[in-house]
Structure 1
């Protein structure tokens, strides 16, 4: 902490004293005696001895270095901080404060993350009416994040995060380190739970036994890794309170190397992130999806790489962690990137469910229509071909129980029906699903015994009935529109029809001769 004196303590006070006699007297009285002695000795051996101006003493680097060494050797940590604060104020150095920005970012990110969790759990409860293990894990994670937000808003921010440590009171510094200790402890829990959410989600969607064994092994590793670092954060100092009281050099105790703990945690976390990203990407080829949807799923998984990038940025910010003489300022990037990492990670874990919610609200976002195994007939085609074709559906399989009743109509080859290209042609395209008699009987039986339907099935049937009603209305209006279009076309060709309907001219004698020859 004493190495903080790269700031020319006494020199800046003297600079202000030349500007105003009253300010000089107040500044000199506020300076610790050890700093005054260093000031007197430093000025007599500096280039500013003959030029006692603020500009000279605020910019004389050799004088600053000499005063730094002197104050570090002769003053306590608290006296050093007081001298630094007075000299910076006297020389007009602006006060740096990023605490408000950090507090705002923390609250905004938490609100967004909490909203995604609420949407996820609400969708599961209202639509699927069941919660899986990863849903419980993400709910527990957001509960563990709440204390960190409270500690940020009421603890680290009021006590100087994002500010220079010499602008704070000794009590502010102690309180800041206490809340920082609590946040570090909760951070290790949050990282463990965040990875656990993703791993449990992978267990739910990947049925392969080999993949599931890998996932279970990764879960065990993640839990052990999180628990070990959680207890390391708690008991890294002896006594525990030495973590937030050792800054002043007036207390006795010992601590583990906090830099080594932070670096080890960050390195293992990044390695696990990369491993967890490789598992789903390697399984994409086994999914029964169109290649476009595989790309979309892959991109959704790759969004998780942003969390890894944030972890790397946080690792870079840990270079000065544990060795800083300006803890409240230098730990700002670590605190900020830790908050971003956890909040964005929560959003990423909720993305698959949010996608289902968006597709349900806006079906056009879901891409192509998912079809069952039933037989579909498609009639119509381009005017040039003049053919009517029937084909089987090539969509995704429908795993519902009703799909087994769908008829597999024979004759899936292409059928052609010639159409005469004369007169007025009107082409229509149809899509009809044929349902076997067994399927219809099954549905009628279940309608008769309505108690067999679950709430979800009754809700689905209601939605299906409403969609049929809307479809019938759409077909009726389309027929009316086609009728009006046909009348307009008929109006345009009516002169041609009248001309054809008029009696033909009487054949001439020459024509009669030709006809008589043809008759013969």
Structure 2
């Protein structure tokens, strides 16, 4: 006769052959969506940064590490479901509860570094895009330092949550443990706070950009899509507060875990969204009139990018041309329209129409790029 891992409530008869699997099914669907959708977006991000914009940075390495950890997080959740996660504990065979406890331990350890690397990747990207705002950049680095100061010791505490560690999943072994619910609750509170900060941070920065209101709203929407991550982290926190002490842990913990997985994968999606415009413009945009970007190949002429530090002759300086090597230009610098290119020959960098006029404050504050090109006609 099969013995359940928890005595059933009064009047409930366990069904080990056909248990209720609502959360169990939700786990399968969630992991399938996260692994497939986020996997594709990460592949696009790597392609754009490595082959299109060619401005690979620290945020890309951080994002890749966060994605690898999220894959491990999802794989552990699927393993957890195999050992009864998402099913009422009184309908989970007692023989499986120890293996379930091991998967809980792994997810506890994985969640912190996974969330940290993803959030840090987004923040580092913000420092690149909004580099002229030095105070904001300094504030972002301070915030990253605070997150590191929290996550680093908490990861160590979680890894050593019991002495010996086996006590965590085997109640028959004597030992001592930290309060598991308190650690998860602290994680949830920090996640809600950090998600809210990352969600709100781009809004005032985007409002100061010198561009039409429609484009400001577009930029703010791209960066603030993390509001969905805030929703997931808040629901996770509420679930822990209301149900964290329930003995039905195979069901409750899986539900809490799903909200954590949703949070980190939404973060990865937000980290990949800003590179998608460059992917579209490089592969699908055809004319300058449609996109404001010039093509790389032409039957009439070829444009060879030159390094201004080494090339001094036969060059044409073209201002305000968006380049794929700059995040701010790819995302927010769509300023060129057909017929509005400003050019000067032989390295003269003075824009047309300005003469000797002293630059205004608007001119000084705008994010500008000067690209030198060499034209060869065939």
TM-score over 0.5 (shorter chain): yes
If the length of structure 1 is used for normalisation, what is the TM-score? 0.55
Which among 238, 243, 247 is matched to residue 325 of structure 1? 247
Q: Are the structure 2 counterparts of residues 303 and 400 from structure 1 closer, same or farther at C-alpha, using a change threshold of 3 Å? A: farther
Larger Rg: 1
- In the alignment, which residue of structure 2 is the partner of 1:96? 20
Instruction: Work out whether residues 45 and 276 of structure 2, in 8 Å CA contact, stay in contact via their aligned partners in 1.
Output: yes
Query: Are 2:158 and 1:158 aligned?
Result: no
Greater strand percent: which structure? 2
- In the alignment, which residue of structure 2 is the partner of 1:480? none
Instruction: Work out whether residues 69 and 114 of structure 2, in 8 Å CA contact, stay in contact via their aligned partners in 1.
Output: yes
Query: Are 2:109 and 1:174 aligned?
Result: no
Moved more, 321-330 or 257-266: 321-330
Q: Distance in 2 between matches of 1:242 and 1:223?
A: 28
**Structure 2, unpaired ranges of 5+:** 295-317, 321-336, 356-371
Q: CA shift at 1:337, angstroms?
A: 0.8
Query: Are 2:36 and 1:111 aligned?
Result: yes
Q: Are the structure 2 counterparts of residues 320 and 179 from structure 1 closer, same or farther at C-alpha, using a change threshold of 3 Å? A: farther
Where does 1:347-358 land on structure 2 (aligned, <5 Å)?
A: 347-358=269-280
Greater helix percent: which structure? 1
- In the alignment, which residue of structure 2 is the partner of 1:274? 196
- In the alignment, which residue of structure 1 is the partner of 2:262? 340
Instruction: Work out whether residues 202 and 224 of structure 2, in 8 Å CA contact, stay in contact via their aligned partners in 1.
Output: no
Q: Distance in 1 between matches of 2:354 and 2:155?
A: 65
Q: Are the structure 2 counterparts of residues 396 and 332 from structure 1 closer, same or farther at C-alpha, using a change threshold of 3 Å? A: farther
Where does 1:497-516 land on structure 2 (aligned, <5 Å)?
A: none
- In the alignment, which residue of structure 2 is the partner of 1:298? 220
CA offset digits 1:355-388 (Å, max 9, x no partner)? 22123334399977479669xxxxxxxxxxxxxx
**Structure 1, unpaired ranges of 5+:** 1-29, 32-77, 375-392, 412-441, 449-460, 466-520
- In the alignment, which residue of structure 2 is the partner of 1:285? 207
Moved more, 217-226 or 95-104: 95-104
- In the alignment, which residue of structure 1 is the partner of 2:46? 121
**Pairwise CA RMSD:** 3.7
Q: Distance in 2 between matches of 1:401 and 1:265?
A: 58
- In the alignment, which residue of structure 2 is the partner of 1:55? none
Which among 148, 152, 156 is matched to residue 223 of structure 1? 148
CA offset digits 1:404-463 (Å, max 9, x no partner)? 57983799xxxxxxxxxxxxxxxxxxxxxxxxxxxxxx97xx557xxxxxxxxxxxx9xx
Q: Are the structure 2 counterparts of residues 291 and 398 from structure 1 closer, same or farther at C-alpha, using a change threshold of 3 Å? A: farther
- In the alignment, which residue of structure 1 is the partner of 2:365? none
Q: Distance in 1 between matches of 2:215 and 2:343?
A: 19
Which among 221, 233, 238 is matched to residue 311 of structure 1? 233
Q: Distance in 2 between matches of 1:269 and 1:104?
A: 24
- In the alignment, which residue of structure 1 is the partner of 2:56? 131
Which among 120, 132, 154 is matched to residue 196 of structure 1? 120
Q: Distance in 1 between matches of 2:344 and 2:130?
A: 20
Instruction: Work out whether residues 85 and 167 of structure 1, in 8 Å CA contact, stay in contact via their aligned partners in 2.
Output: no
Q: CA shift at 1:102, angstroms?
A: 0.7
Q: Distance in 1 between matches of 2:12 and 2:200?
A: 54
* Structure having greater relative contact order (Cα 8 Å, sep ≥ 6): 2
Count of residue pairs the alignment pairs up: 320
Q: CA shift at 1:173, angstroms?
A: 0.7
Moved more, 351-360 or 313-322: 313-322
- In the alignment, which residue of structure 1 is the partner of 2:352? 408
- In the alignment, which residue of structure 1 is the partner of 2:307? none
Q: Are the structure 2 counterparts of residues 79 and 359 from structure 1 closer, same or farther at C-alpha, using a change threshold of 3 Å? A: closer
